[in-house]
Amino acid sequence: MSYQQEKQVAIEAALAAAKICEQVRSERVTQAMEKSDKSPVTVADYGSQAVICRLLAQGFPNDPVVGEEDAADLVEPTMANQLAQVTSYVQSVTNDATPEAVVSWINLGNGEIGPRYWTLDPIDGTKGFLRNDQYAVALALVEQGEVKVGVLACPALPVNLAQPDGERGVLFVAVRGQGATMVPISGGEPESIQVTDADNTAELRFVESVESGHGDHSRQDLVAKAVGITADSLRMDSQAKYGAVASGQAALYLRLPSSKYPNYREKIWDHAAGTIVVEEAGGLVTDMHGKPLNFSIGSKLVENQGVVVSNGVIHETVLAALRDTAN
């Protein structure tokens, strides 16, 4: 299958959502609401999920969507103002939005995993979004447990990481068997991307989360040093880290369970789109024990712990260093 239509709809949806997110950020209406697990969510997360689920339902009415957010909190009477805000942002990209329609579109993301499903993170890195740092809109199509299409819109990512003050906004796209590309969100010809093939670790960089609760910074540092990476890590929110590895701007992304949450299990929407972008760019993605990520069980990667993303060349050395530093 060529997945041409899936790719086109996913790109259109992610770009429409990215527009809403950037608009919310530029208008500084980004106070966080708190979810029951105490994590933050904003009107932009809701607006992004509404628009994407709506466009997916138009293109693929039979496909379930497993999204991060749902509208249960947003329909509380005390949240009427926030729902009105979400509706007006969604209205700016689809002109038939009403509060009721927006709630129903968001809830289209409560689908179940099946033989074919989409998984959506409407804003990955909400904490980065709130800090004015990196975030990504992440959308992937999974069939029989294998990611087939992945789109990552990173509106704040410098097109060239070496020029942080240069143009920002990058779209990564991958289709199984067709390679991975990046293109500025402002437009242009998609450019094929490849992981770095260097095995000269002294020249390599690694990426990790900004949030220490999302990854064990000290162990990540030890493992990187054991592999021979001497440069400081580049800390970055969201699946933009997968983009950095896929485009050769970093050789390794380590996400080891934080000692604060040793039993945390990763969510499928935090990894599906990033995984195919890196694999199609020639890299490797496994958990910290070397097992492939299993996207066919549920919304959590219950069979996996931690995530290791690399250019492939150094993967086995990284896994060996992890075994050596195991306690």
Ligand X SMILES: Nc1ncnc2c1ncn2[C@@H]1O[C@H](COP(=O)(O)O)[C@@H](OP(=O)(O)O)[C@H]1O
For Mg ion, the binding residues (CB under 5 A) are 39, 68, 121, 123-124, 126, 270
Least distance to ligand X, CB of residue 267, Å = 5
* Residue closer to ligand X (CB basis): 194 or 212: 212
Of the listed 30, 42, 87, 126, which one is catalytic? 126
**Among 98-106, 169-177, 191-199, 258-266, the segment contacting ligand X (CB under 6 A):** 258-266
Query: Hey, how many other C-beta atoms are within 10 angstroms of the C-beta on 162?
Result: 7
**Under the criterion CB under 6 A, does residue 279 sit at the interface with ligand X?**
no
* Interface with ligand X (CB under 6 A), residue from 270, 279, 280, 287: 270
On whether 221 is known to bind a ligand per the annotation, the reply is no
* Residue closer to Mg ion (CB basis): 237 or 280: 237
**Under the criterion CB under 6 A, does residue 73 sit at the interface with ligand X?**
no
Q: What phi and psi, each to the nearest 5 degrees, are found at residue 13?
A: -65, -45
Q: Rounded CA gap, 210 and 240, in Å?
A: 12
On whether 197 is known to bind a ligand per the annotation, the reply is no
Can you spell out the DSSP letters for 18-77? Answer: HHHHHHHHHTT--PPEE-TTS-EE-HHHHHHHHHHHHHHHHH-TT--EEES--STGGGSG
Half-sphere exposure of 45 (CA within 13 A, CB side): 29
Of the listed 45, 216, 237, 287, which one is catalytic? 45
Query: Hey, how many other C-beta atoms are within 10 angstroms of the C-beta on 3?
Result: 16
Half-sphere exposure of 261 (CA within 13 A, CB side): 13
Closest CB to Mg ion belongs to which residue? 124
Question: Can you say whether the dihedral through the CA atoms of 309, 310, 316, 319 is positive or negative?
Answer: negative
* Interface with ligand X (CB under 6 A), residue from 196, 238, 275, 311: 238
Q: Is 317 a catalytic residue?
A: no
On whether 276 is known to bind a ligand per the annotation, the reply is no
**Among 80-88, 89-97, 123-131, 177-185, the segment contacting ligand X (CB under 6 A):** 123-131
**Under the criterion CB under 6 A, does residue 121 sit at the interface with ligand X?**
yes
Least distance to ligand X, CB of residue 211, Å = 5
Q: Is 324 a catalytic residue?
A: no
Going from the C-alpha of 245 to that of each of 14, 174, 298, the distances in angstroms are 21, 14, 26
**Under the criterion CB under 6 A, does residue 32 sit at the interface with ligand X?**
no
**Under the criterion CB under 6 A, does residue 126 sit at the interface with ligand X?**
yes
As a whole number of Å, the end-to-end CA separation of the chain is: 45
User: Quick one: what does residue 216 bind among Mg ion, ligand X, none, with the CB cut-off 5 to 8 Å set by partner type?
Assistant: none
Closest CB to ligand X belongs to which residue? 209
Task: Please give the structure tokens belonging to residue 189.
Answer: 């010809």
Q: Name residues whose C-beta falls within 8 Å of residue 203's C-beta, 6 or more positions apart in sequence.
A: none
User: Quick one: what does residue 176 bind among Mg ion, ligand X, none, with the CB cut-off 5 to 8 Å set by partner type?
Assistant: none
Largest CA distance in the chain: 58
Contacts with ligand X by CB under 6 A: the residue count is 19
Question: Can you say whether the dihedral through the CA atoms of 291, 293, 298, 299 is positive or negative?
Answer: positive
User: Quick one: what does residue 128 bind among Mg ion, ligand X, none, with the CB cut-off 5 to 8 Å set by partner type?
Assistant: ligand X
Give the H/E segment covering residue 103.
Answer: helix 99-107
Catalytic residues: 45, 126
Q: Which residues bind ligand X (CB under 6 A)?
A: 39, 68, 121, 123-126, 128, 209, 211, 213-214, 237-238, 258, 261, 264, 267, 270
Binding residues for Mg(2+): 68, 121, 123-124, 270
